[in-house]
Amino acid sequence: MKICSKGRERMTDLAELKAKGIIAQKQEGYFVLRFLSDAGYFTVDEMTSLSEVASKYGNGELGLTSRLTLEIPYIKQENLEEVLAFCNEKNLRIGGGGPTVRAILTCKGTVCKHGLADTNRITREMDKRFFGRKLPGKFKITVLGCPNSYGKAQGNDLAFLAVKGVELIEEVCIHCKKCVKVCPDDAFRVDEKYLALEKEKCSRCGKCIPECPVNALKSDKVEFLVFLGGRLGRKSRLAIPCKVKVKEDEIYEVTEKVLAFYNEHAGSGERFAEVIERIGLEVVEQALFS
Ligand code: SF4
Ligand code: SF4
């Protein structure tokens, strides 16, 4: 693999490699390889191959990243071609850099007892459709399974977070207060003979529903809050949920629209957060959802 050794051409070469998940270290002549997981999972065979890469070509260490990728540092430049051929043979995916849709982040909603949605399934579909798409700047998407991940949703360019609301059927309630005990948001107002649900406090986590012994808590269907234009880092902007909520099968169409909007309105390197600040969230929401 030839990498120009001087000036601007070298910077271009390195930027192109970075977009492919091959990242120059500050230590001259060494690279980090970034490996993509499958919605946060590697198989045992993949882990065995990754260990082989780290022990044979790296320094024996494998590093975890915040976007569910795994990085192997200290790959010598002269070994890059050989390592990449090995990775190709073992079907290890490398990538996740540059002005593209980055690795789709998710939580363990598929197996977590709080999870309201099959986050693995949705994330795999998102990965298939959108990962690596070239855009004016980097674009981070996350799919989350319950309100416990609210903070994570706020820091991504686009986030979908599953919620499940609840209705209290007062005439059925026997005032056992089991729901009150599990509610993380103190959303029930209660005395000896009275129970009321304060909807503005309820985060729609659905935790109370299975606790009720008499089915006095009626479950809404799962839907997803949509967060636009969050980012962390130096210029952080915490996104708030849009007025519109979506069903699971609408997630892909909404993502397509959001990416098209960003592609059309962002300048080179401009993040979605900046586009929203410049144009105004209401205008953006209207363009996307009306
Ligand atoms: S859905 Fe969650 S936040 Fe809302 S009332 Fe039930 S337990 Fe409390
Ligand atoms: S768990 Fe059901 S019956 Fe018990 S207080 Fe809550 S809503 Fe009423």
How far CA 97 is from CA of 21, 45, 58, 163, 239, in Å, comes to 5, 25, 20, 31, 23
DSSP 92-151: --B---SSBB-PPEE-STTTSTT--S-HHHHHHHHHHHHTT-B-SS-B-EEEESSGGGHH
Domain 7-89 matches domain 166-219 at the CATH topology level: yes
Distance (Å, whole) CA 108 – CA 143: 10
166-219 CATH: 3.30.70.20
Give the chain's count of helices (H) and strands (E): 9, 13
Q: Taking residues 84-113, what's their average pLDDT?
A: 96
Ligand 1 mean position, distance from CA 9 (Å): 57
Q: What is the token pair recorded at 27?
A: 């230590």
Looking at residues 78-105, what average pLDDT do you find? 96
Ligand 2 centroid to residue 173 C-alpha, Å = 5
What does the pLDDT read at residue 111?
97
Tell me the average pLDDT of the chain.
94
- The binding-site residues of ligand 1, defined as CB within 6 angstroms of any ligand atom, are 166, 182-183, 185, 187, 197, 202-208
**CATH of the structural domain 7-89, one choice from 3.30.70.120, 3.90.1170.50, 3.30.70.3340, 2.40.50.140:** 3.30.70.3340
Q: Answer whether residue 6 shows pLDDT above 90.
A: no
Q: Tell me what the mean pLDDT of segment 215-228 comes to.
A: 96
Structure tokens belonging to residue 40: 């946060």
CB 155 within 8 A of CB 185: no
User: CATH says 105-162+224-289 is which class?
Assistant: alpha beta
pLDDT single digits (tens) 15-66: 899 989 999 999 999 999 999 999 999 999 999 999 999 999 999 999 999 9
pLDDT at 288: 95
Q: Is the pLDDT of residue 5 over 70?
A: no
Residues 6+ apart with CB under 8 A from 120: 39, 40, 41, 106, 109, 110
Ligand at shortest distance from the CA of 182: 1
Among 2-11, 24-33, 129-138, 279-288, the range scoring the smallest mean pLDDT is: 2-11
Query: What residue segments make up the domains of the chain, in order of their start?
Result: 7-89, 105-162+224-289, 166-219
pLDDT at 1: 66
Atom of ligand 2 nearest to the CA of 217: 7
Q: DSSP string covering 180-241, please?
A: HHH-TT--EEEETTEEEE-TTT-----TTGGG-TT--EEEPPPEEEEEES-B-STT-B---E
Cα 151 versus chain centre, distance: 11
The pLDDT score that the predictor gives to residue 185 is 95
Q: Whose CA is nearest to atom 2 of ligand 2?
A: 212
Q: Nearest 5°: CA angle at 246, between 125 and 243?
A: 135
Q: Is the CB of 195 under 6 A from ligand 2?
A: yes
Residues 6+ apart with CB under 8 A from 210: none
With a 6 Å cutoff on the Cβ, whether 187 touches ligand 2 is no
